[in-house]
Amino acid sequence: MNIRADHPNFMVWAGAQADIDRVTRVWTDCLLASGGPFLFGDRPTMADAMYAPVCSRFRTYHIKLDHLCDDYCETILSMPAVMEWMEAARVEPEQLDELDVEF
C-alpha cells in the first residue's frame, strides 16, 4: 500500500478484477444485510479496519465501484483514525535507512 501513489489510468487485469468483484460482493452482501454504513451496522468493527487498506488501494488505482461500495470506501477513508493514519504515512521519509542494510 502506497498512500502517495496515484494511478488514474491503470488497466485492471482479469485476475485482479476477479478479486475486486469478490470483495465488492462481500461488501454489498454485508451492507445490504446490516443497513450500513459499516459492514455490520452503524458501528465500525475489525472487519472494517481490515478493509481500510483495500479502500485505499481502490482509490489509488481509481477502481470503478458501484454507489454502495463507493460510499462504503468514503465512509472508511473519512474516519478520523484512518485519516490520521494516512496523513502519518504521507509524511514518512521516502526511504528508510534501516531497510537498506545488506545481510
Summarised one tens digit per residue, pLDDT across range 31-60 is 999 999 999 999 999 999 999 999 999 999
pLDDT at position 69 over 90: yes
Task: Count the Cβ atoms, other than its own, within 10 Å of residue 25.
Answer: 11
Q: How far apart are CA 34 and CA 27, in angstroms?
A: 10
**Mean pLDDT, range 8-25, rounded to an integer:** 95
Domain boundaries, the chain: 14-90
Q: What angle do CA 49, 52, 31 make, to 5 degrees?
A: 75
Set of cell numbers at residue 31 = 451492507
User: How confident is residue 101, by pLDDT bands cut at 50, 70 and 90?
Assistant: low
